[in-house]
C-alpha cells in the first residue's frame, strides 16, 4: 500500500469540498483513483532491482543555526548521511543551515531516501540533473510530514554543480528561504584530466540574501509587493554565513558559485578590477575559459570561476562584489528606489508594504555592495595554470532542431500579483498543445516578454469561476501613506509613493485571490480592452526573470533586444555568458532569447518556470509533457 498522500489528492479534496474532515471517511473509489493516478509516479519505497552504488538518507527538518552573533536562528535544514558507497558522497558545511554538498560521479546509480520531518509538505527537486520525470521532484509528488520518498536514478550529467531544493507548489520560496537548499557536485573523467584546483583550493560559494529581526530570526514577507517583485533580504550570506571571509593562499582557486537567493540578481566582480575568469556555467565546463569584466548570476544559475591570488601580499584582501546595474526591477520601481536612496531609515514595524519596499531600499538589487572577502593568509609557491582548453561538446545548430520555424514560445507576462507564462498560471494537468514535445528531439525555444501581445493571447488566461469573494491583497496604499507621513523626512516619497500605491491599487482591482491562495487574473481580462490595459501594465512592470527549464541543459542560440531598454542592458550585457550548457537563463527587459534544448531519454512531465521563487509560487510555472 502506498504511504504517500500526493497533493493531487488533497487538491481534489479541496475542490470537492471534502477538506481534511473528509479524510477519515475517504471513499474507497477515491483511493482506487489515487492508486491509478499515482502509478508511474516513481517508487515511494526502494526497488530491490535497482542496484545502487550510493545510498543516502536525506532529512528535512526544523532546526537552529548560528548565523548572526547572539541568538541562533530558527531554520529549515537538510541533513544527509551516507548509508552505502563512497564516504565523500556527502560533504558537510560545518555550522551552516545549508544542506551538505552531495558529490556523485557520472554513471553512478544513486538511491536517496528522503524523509520529510518538516511541519508541512515538501518534495526534493534535483535542479540541473537529468533524471526521469517521476524522480524530478514534481510538485504533485510532495509528501506530508513524517512521510518518506525514495529516489532512484542514474547520474547522466557530465561534471557540474547543481542544486537540490524543495518544489512543492506555492511553498518553494518559503522553504528555500528558511534554509532548504544544497549543492550537488557531479564529477567526471574529462574534468579530472584538467587538474583544476581541488580539495581546499576548490571553494563552494552559495550566495543568498536574508533579512533578520532583532531576535536574529528570519523575516520573510509575502505582501503583494514582495510577491510581485520577489522578496529581497538586506544582508548577503555566503554558505549560510554572514560577513563571510575566506582565508586563501597565493595560488589559483576554483570557485563553484551558486545563486541560492529567492530573487536577488548579482553582478559579480573583483574589487581591484581583476577580470572574472569563467570556466563553466550551469551545465558544466565551457570549451575554453571566458574572461569578462564582471559576470551576472541570477537565482538558480551557477558559475565555475578561476581566481589566482598569486602575487598578493600576506594579509591583503580582495572583495567579491556585486556591482551596480539596471533592469532587474521595473523601471518605475528603480526610479523610486533612486529617489529614496540617501533617506534615513525610520520606518517602523507594521507597514507590510513599506517593510518590503524598505528591504529593497536597504540593499537595493542592482546597487553596489560586498559579497565576500578573500584574505591572503599563506604565501606558497606551488601553483597551476588555467587550462586554455576545457571541454569538448557538440554545438547545437538551428538546422538540428525539429521546429526551426516554429519555436516553442515561453512568453513572459508581467502584472502586479500576476506573473504568467504564455498567459496562463500553473495548473496541474493543463498541458497546452505546444507544451507537448516528442521524445528524443532537439527543440527551438523562444523566451520573450509577451506584454499582452499575441504571444500572451496564444494561451489565454484561464478563467476561474470567481466563487469566492474578491479578497484584496493586503499592503496597498494605506500602509504606504502612513509610512510616508509618519516621517516628515520622507516627504519626497509621497510622489513616488502615490505612484506606486496607485499602481498597486489598480492591480488589486484587476485580480482576485482564489480560495487556494493562488492569484488568478479576473475573467474578462483576456478580452480586447482588458488585454490592452494589461499590455500597458506589462510594459511598466517589465523586469528581469531567470527562466529555468527542467530536464537536460540547453544551449543559448541568440539573445536580442527590442524596445527602449538598451541603456539598462548596457549595464549587464558583458556579464551574460551565452556559451556552454545552461538550465536557467536570465531574460532582461526587452530581451528575446532563443535556445536549443534536447528532450531525450525520459517521457513525462517536466516543469519550466521563473526561478524568481516568488514568481514561481505566484504560478509563473508551466510544464512540458514529453511524449
Please give the helix or strand (H or E) that residue 505 lies within, else none.
helix 493-510
- From residue 9 to residue 48, the character string flagging contacts with ligand C2O as x (rule: CB under 6 A) and all else as - is ----------------------------------------
Per CB under 5 A, the segment of 52-60, 175-183, 553-561, 612-620 that binds Cu ion is 612-620
For the bound state, the minimum distance from the C-beta of residue 180 to ligand C2O, rounded and expressed in Å, comes to: 11
- If one counts every other C-beta atom within 10 angstroms of the C-beta of residue 191, the result is 22
Binding status of residue 277 toward Cu ion by CB under 5 A: no
By a kind-dependent CB cut-off of 5 to 8 A, residue 545 interacts, out of ligand C2O, Cu ion, none, with Cu ion
**Which cell goes with 251?**
595560488
289 or 589: CB nearest Cu ion: 589
Task: Give me the DSSP letters along 299-324.
Answer: TT-EEEEEEE-TTPPTT-EEEEEE--
Binding status of residue 127 toward Cu ion by CB under 5 A: yes
Binding status of residue 615 toward ligand C2O by CB under 6 A: no
Per CB under 6 A, the segment of 235-243, 458-466, 572-580, 603-611 that binds ligand C2O is 603-611
- From residue 112 to residue 131, the character string flagging contacts with ligand C2O as x (rule: CB under 6 A) and all else as - is -------------x-x----
Binding status of residue 609 toward ligand C2O by CB under 6 A: yes
Binding status of residue 165 toward ligand C2O by CB under 6 A: yes
Counting Cβ atoms within 10 Å, is residue 363 exposed (0-12), middle (13-18) or buried (19+)?
middle
Please enumerate in sequence order all residues whose Cβ is within 8 A of that of 559, keeping only pairs 6 or more positions apart, or say none. 576, 578, 591, 592, 593, 594
336 or 408: CB nearest ligand C2O: 408
In angstroms, the CA 291 to CA 328 distance is: 23
Binding status of residue 300 toward ligand C2O by CB under 6 A: yes
In this structure, the chain runs to a length of: 627
For the bound state, the minimum distance from the C-beta of residue 327 to Cu ion, rounded and expressed in Å, comes to: 13
Q: Confirm if 372 and 253 have CB atoms less than 8 A apart.
A: no
Please enumerate in sequence order all residues whose Cβ is within 8 A of that of 127, keeping only pairs 6 or more positions apart, or say none. 162, 163, 164, 165, 300, 548, 550, 583
96 or 259: CB nearest ligand C2O: 259
111 or 545: CB nearest Cu ion: 545
Per CB under 6 A, the segment of 65-73, 93-101, 160-168, 231-239 that binds ligand C2O is 160-168
CB-based closest residue to ligand C2O: 127
| Residue 21 DSSP code | G
| Residue 461 DSSP code | P
445 or 525: CB nearest ligand C2O: 445
Task: Give me the DSSP letters along 558-616.
Answer: EEEE-SS-HHHHHTTGGG---SS-BSEEEE-TTEEEEEEEEE-S--EEEEEEESSHHHH
**Sequence-distant contacts of 193-201: CB under 8 A, at least 24 apart:** 194/285, 194/387, 194/390, 195/384, 196/254, 196/279, 196/306, 196/384, 196/387, 197/251, 197/252, 197/253, 197/254, 197/306, 197/384, 198/254, 201/249, 201/251, 201/252, 201/253, 201/254
For the bound state, the minimum distance from the C-beta of residue 582 to ligand C2O, rounded and expressed in Å, comes to: 13
By a kind-dependent CB cut-off of 5 to 8 A, residue 169 interacts, out of ligand C2O, Cu ion, none, with none
**239 DSSP β-pair partners:** none
300 or 423: CB nearest ligand C2O: 300
By a kind-dependent CB cut-off of 5 to 8 A, residue 227 interacts, out of ligand C2O, Cu ion, none, with none
For the bound state, the minimum distance from the C-beta of residue 73 to Cu ion, rounded and expressed in Å, comes to: 27
- From residue 393 to residue 412, the character string flagging contacts with ligand C2O as x (rule: CB under 6 A) and all else as - is --------------------
Among 607, 618, 620, 626, the residue binding ligand C2O under the rule CB under 6 A is: 607
Among 73, 96, 157, 612, the residue binding Cu ion under the rule CB under 5 A is: 612
For the bound state, the minimum distance from the C-beta of residue 66 to Cu ion, rounded and expressed in Å, comes to: 30
Binding status of residue 135 toward Cu ion by CB under 5 A: no
**79 DSSP β-pair partners:** 59
Binding status of residue 610 toward Cu ion by CB under 5 A: yes
**Which cell goes with 191?**
574534468
- From residue 539 to residue 558, the character string flagging contacts with Cu ion as x (rule: CB under 5 A) and all else as - is ------x----x--------
73 or 263: CB nearest ligand C2O: 263
165 or 449: CB nearest ligand C2O: 165
Query: Residue-wise over 266-289: b if at least 16 C-beta within 10 A, else e?
Result: bbbbbeeeeebbbbbbbbbbbeeb
Q: Confirm if 172 and 165 have CB atoms less than 8 A apart.
A: yes
Binding status of residue 597 toward ligand C2O by CB under 6 A: no
Q: Confirm if 236 and 371 have CB atoms less than 8 A apart.
A: yes
Contact positions vs Cu ion (CB under 5 A) = 127, 545, 550, 610, 612, 615
Contact positions vs ligand C2O (CB under 6 A) = 125, 127, 163, 165, 167, 300, 548, 550, 607, 609, 611
Amino acid at each position: 500500500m502506498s504511504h504517500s498522500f500526493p497533493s493531487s489528492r488533497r487538491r481534489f479534496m479541496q475542490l470537492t469540498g471534502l477538506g481534511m474532515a473528509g479524510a477519515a471517511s475517504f471513499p474507497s473509489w477515491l483511493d482506487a483513483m489515487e492508486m491509478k493516478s499515482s502509478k508511474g509516479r516513481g517508487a515511494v519505497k526502494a526497488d530491490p532491482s535497482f542496484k545502487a552504488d550510493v545510498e543516502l538518507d536525506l532529512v528535512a527538518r526544523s532546526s537552529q543555526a548560528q548565523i548572526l552573533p547572539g541568538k541562533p536562528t530558527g531554520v529549515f535544514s537538510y541533513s544527509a548521511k551516507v548509508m552505502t558507497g563512497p564516504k565523500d558522497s556527502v560533504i558537510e558545511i560545518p555550522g551552516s543551515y545549508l544542506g551538505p554538498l552531495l558529490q556523485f560521479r557520472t554513471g553512478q546509480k544513486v538511491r536517496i531516501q528522503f524523509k520529510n520531518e518538516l511541519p508541512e509538505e515538501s518534495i526534493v527537486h534535483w535542479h540541473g540533473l537529468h533524471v526521469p520525470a517521476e524522480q524530478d521532484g514534481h510538485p504533485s509528488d510532495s509528501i506530508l510530514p513524517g512521510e518518506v520518498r525514495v529516489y532512484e536514478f542514474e547520474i547522466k550529467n557530465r561534471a557540474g554543480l547543481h542544486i537540490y531544493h524543495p518544489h512543492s507548489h506555492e511553498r518553494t520560496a518559503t522553504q528555500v528561504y528558511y534554509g532548504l537548499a544544497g549543492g550537488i557536485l557531479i564529477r567526471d573523467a574529462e574534468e579530472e584530466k584538467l587538474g583544476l584546483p581541488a580539495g581546499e583550493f576548490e571553494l563552494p560559494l552559495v550566495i543568498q540574501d536574508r533579512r533578520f529581526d532583532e531576535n536574529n530570526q528570519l523575516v520573510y514577507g509575502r505582501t503583494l509587493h514582495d510577491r510581485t517583485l520577489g522578496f529581497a533580504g538586506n544582508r548577503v550570506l555566503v554558505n549560510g554565513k554572514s560577513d563571510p571571509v575566506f582565508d586563501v593562499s597565493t595560488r589559483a582557486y576554483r570557485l563553484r558559485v551558486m545563486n541560492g537567493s529567492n530573487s536577488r540578481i548579482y553582478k559579480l566582480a573583483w574589487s581591484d578590477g581583476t577580470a572574472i575568469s569563467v570556466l563553466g556555467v550551469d551545465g558544466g565546463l565551457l570549451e575554453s575559459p571566458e574572461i569578462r569584466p564582471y559576470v551576472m548570476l541570477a537565482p538558480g544559475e551557477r558559475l565555475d570561476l578561476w581566481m589566482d591570488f598569486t602575487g598578493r601580499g600576506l594579509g591583503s584582501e580582495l572583495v567579491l562584489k556585486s556591482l551596480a546595474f539596471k533592469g532587474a526591477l521595473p523601471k518605475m520601481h528603480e526610479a523610486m528606489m533612486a529617489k529614496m536612496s540617501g533617506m534615513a531609515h525610520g520606518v517602523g514595524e507594521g507597514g507590510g508594504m513599506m517593510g518590503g519596499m524598505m528591504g529593497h531600499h536597504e540593499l537595493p538589487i542592482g546597487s553596489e555592495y560586498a559579497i565576500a572577502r578573500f584574505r591572503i593568509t599563506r604565501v606558497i609557491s606551488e601553483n597551476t595554470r588555467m587550462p586554455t582548453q576545457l571541454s569538448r561538446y557538440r554545438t547545437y545548430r538551428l538546422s538540428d532542431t525539429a521546429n526551426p520555424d516554429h519555436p516553442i514560445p515561453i512568453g513572459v507576462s508581467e502584472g502586479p500579483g500576476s506573473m504568467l507564462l504564455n498567459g496562463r498560471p500553473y495548473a496541474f494537468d493543463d498541458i497546452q498543445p505546444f507544451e507537448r514535445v516528442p521524445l528524443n528531439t532537439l527543440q527551438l525555444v523562444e523566451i520573450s516578454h509577451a506584454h499582452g501581445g499575441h504571444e500572451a493571447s496564444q494561451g489565454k488566461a484561464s478563467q476561474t469561476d470567481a466563487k469566492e469573494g474578491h479578497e484584496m491583497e493586503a499592503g496597498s496604499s494605506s500602509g504606504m501613506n502612513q509610512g510616508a507621513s509618519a516621517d516628515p523626512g520622507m516627504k519626497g516619497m509621497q510622489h513616488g509613493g502615490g505612484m506606486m500605491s496607485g499602481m498597486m491599487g489598480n492591480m488589486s482591482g484587476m485580480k482576485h485571490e482564489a480560495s487556494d491562495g493562488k492569484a488568478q487574473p479576473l475573467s474578462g481580462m483576456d478580452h480586447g480592452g482588458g488585454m490592452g490595459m494589461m499590455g500597458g501594465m506589462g510594459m511598466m512592470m517589465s523586469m528581469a526573470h531567470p527562466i529555468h527549464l527542467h530536464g537536460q541543459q540547453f544551449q543559448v542560440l541568440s539573445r536580442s533586444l527590442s524596445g527602449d531598454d538598451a541603456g539598462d542592458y548596457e549595464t549587464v550585457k558583458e556579464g551574460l555568458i551565452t556559451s556552454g550548457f545552461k538550465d536557467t537563463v536570465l531574460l532582461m527587459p526587452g530581451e528575446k532569447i532563443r535556445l536549443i534544448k534536447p528532450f531525450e531519454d525520459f517521457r513525462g512531465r517536466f516543469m519550466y518556470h521563473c526561478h524568481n521563487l516568488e514568481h514561481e509560487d505566484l504560478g509563473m510555472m508551466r510544464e512540458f509533457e514529453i511524449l
